[in-house]
Amino acid sequence: MMSKTLNDSQSRKEQDTSNKTNGVLLDVKDLHTYFFTEEGIVKAVDGVSFQINYDEILGLVGETGCGKSVTALSLLKLIRSPGEILSGQILFDGDDIVSKTEDEMLKIRGNSITMMFQDPMNSLNPVMKVGDQLAEVYLLHQMDNLKAELIKAREKNKRLKENLKRMKNELKTSSPDGAETLKNQIKAIKEQIKFRITITNMAHRESAALLDRIGLPNADTIINRYPHELSGGMRQRIMIAMGLACNSKLLICDEPTTALDVTIQAQILDMIRELKRKLKNSVLFITHSLGVIYELCDRVAVMYSGNIVEYGPVENIFKKPMHPYTKGLMGAIPRVTKASRESELQIIPGMVPNLIYPPNGCRFHPRCDHAMQICKEINPPLKLMENNVQVACHLFDEDKSNSTLFRKLTFEEKQEDVL
């Protein structure tokens, strides 16, 4: 407990100096989200602090089960029992989300903050056409645009009808050979005229257009299908479309590209980037893939077992990862070189810790090559390094004079804490 508060207050001061960009959109302070299950308390998010600036993409990376999705869900207050946000603040534009009521959250979800979910198989409603699910977003959040579109469409319809009338009159007076072409023209116009145009039609049209833009062929037919009639990749793109359609200030993408092949993945990343450029909104991008982080993000937070262990600009961290866990993650990226085909992929030894009984001190210590006595006792706070990167690791403590504390642990000593 001690170490967590220390962690927070220290990192806070340092972050304030480190973010020189144009202001903070989202400021998460010492967030704790626990699940009170029958087996015990799952400390899924345990003292996480980070910030997202305006017009920035922050990557969140970490092994499976380290609490990435729970962090994201907390930002929308979508944690359901037995889970609970125990403490901490989530300041969005200076407004604390944690203290908001469910009614107030309705105005935030989809409007200010949107989330694309990780699992496209289960995240779409199986008994609703995907077009309806997508159109719902437009109807909820872009009513003004839709109304404008509706007026335009109705005017066009009216013009078409007037044209039709005029042509029919002409037909009565025209010569027999001119009549043939006129008749064809009339037929073409008739096809374009709609009997009635509703706001739902507009929402469907927008949906189809969006699907088209994110590279789904035959968008017009796809909007009339049910989720089970689509492939995993198609479903994932529907999810992405739902996120993009919201146009919100903060877009949370929870591994949106995992089920997609590389080409589509690249397209989606381009879209997110483009959207960001156009709307100047911010993105929290959750992924397992460091490659995607490198391509897309401005800054990255590396998460391990409910804590953020390294946090800073992408280039700096990729150039010189400092936390042993980050180093391990980098080592686990397959590289397409001749040497790498011959050498084995480096894997971080050991298991992801159990979040009910996490190891004391630094949660990574049972798996860390550099683990020291102090690592077992004190969870290291995030500490600002010279290249604007923050790291939570005792290797970077300034005062290492206490030799008992900074003695390296043996393998057996490291395993003592593992359950």
Partner 1 sequence: MSLVKYTIRRILALIPILFGVLFMTFIMTRYIPGNPFMFAIGEHPTTSQIKAMNEMVERYGLNEPILVQLWMYVQKLFSGNWGVSLIIRRGTPVWSMILDVFPRTVEIALLSVGIATGIGIKAGISSAVNRNTRKDTFIRFFALMGVAIPVFWLGMILQFTFGYRLGLLPSTNYFDANLDPVPKITHLRLIDTLITGNLIAFWDTVLHLIMPVFCLSFIYLAGITRQTRSSMLEVLELDYVRTARAKGCKEKDVINKHAFRNALIPVVTVVGLGFAGLLGGAVLTETTFNLNAMGMLTIQAINSIEYDIINATIFIGTIILVSANLIIDLVYGIVDPRIRY
Ligand X SMILES: Nc1ncnc2c1ncn2[C@@H]1O[C@H](COP(=O)(O)OP(=O)(O)OP(=O)(O)O)[C@@H](O)[C@H]1O
The binding site for ligand SF4 (CB under 6 A) comprises 323-324, 362, 364-365, 368, 370-372, 375, 380, 393-395
Judged by beta carbon, residue 76 or residue 272, the one nearer partner 1 is: 76
ω into 359 cis (within 30 of 0): no
Q: How far apart are the C-alpha atoms of 180 and 175, rounded to whole Å?
A: 9
SS3 418: coil
Q: How far is the CB of 285 from ligand SF4 (least distance, A)?
A: 24
Per CB under 6 A, does 243 bind ligand X?
no
Question: Helix and strand tally (H, E) in the chain?
Answer: 16, 12
Stretch 148-177 residues interacting with ligand X (CB under 6 A): none
Query: What minimum distance in Å lies between the beta carbon of 144 and partner 1?
Result: 15
Q: Which of 102, 191, 344, 399 binds partner 1 (CB under 8 A)?
A: 102
**CB distance 114 to 103 below 8 Å:** no
The H or E element that residue 414 is part of is: helix 411-415
135 binds ligand X (CB under 6 A): no
- Partner whose binding site includes residue 380, from ligand SF4, partner 1, Mg ion, none (CB under 5 to 8 Å by kind): ligand SF4
Candidate list 24, 31, 42, 202; residue touching ligand X; CB under 6 A = 42
Check residue 69 for interaction with ligand X (CB under 6 A): yes
**Alpha-carbon dihedral of residues 59, 33, 90, 299, nearest 10 degrees?**
-10
Residues 112-141 that bind partner 1 (CB under 8 A): 114-115, 117, 119, 122-128, 136-137, 140-141
Starting from the edge strand earliest in sequence, which strands make up the sheet with 57-61, in order? 113-116, 250-254, 282-287, 57-61, 299-304, 307-313, 390-391, 383-384
**The pairing of beta strand 57-61 with beta strand 282-287:** parallel
Taking CB under 6 A as the rule, does residue 363 contact ligand X?
no
Q: How many residues bind Mg ion (CB under 5 A)?
A: 2
Q: Applying CB under 6 A, does 37 fall inside the site for ligand X?
A: yes
Q: Is 69 in the site for Mg ion (CB under 5 A)?
A: yes
Beta strands in 11-56 (DSSP E): 24-36, 41-53
Residue closer to ligand SF4, measured from CB, 79 or 372: 372
Residue 115 binds which entry of partner 1, ligand X, Mg ion, none, CB below 5-8 Å type-dependent: partner 1
Report CA Rg, the chain.
27
Distance CA 403, CA 355 (A): 31
**130-141 and 232-245 helices, crossing angle to 10°:** 10
SS3 51: strand
Token readout for 201 is: 């039609």
- 70 lines the binding site for ligand X (CB under 6 A): yes
Cross-strand pairs, 115: 252
Q: Are 271 and 238 in contact (CB under 8 A)?
A: no
> What does DSSP assign to residue 228?
G
Under rule CB under 6 A, residue 66 binds ligand X: yes
Residues 284-313 that bind ligand X (CB under 6 A): none
67 binds ligand X (CB under 6 A): yes
26 or 362, CB closer to ligand SF4?
Answer: 362
Which neighbouring-strand residues pair with 26? Answer: 52, 92
For position 230 contacting ligand X by CB under 6 A, the verdict is: no
Assess 65 for contact with ligand X (CB under 6 A): yes
Residues that bind partner 1 (CB under 8 A): 73, 76, 78, 80, 102, 106-111, 114-115, 117, 119, 122-128, 136-137, 140-141, 226, 228, 239, 242, 246
Where does this chain bind Mg ion (CB under 5 A)?
69, 118
Binding site for ligand X (CB under 6 A): 35, 37, 42, 44, 62, 64-70, 83, 118, 355
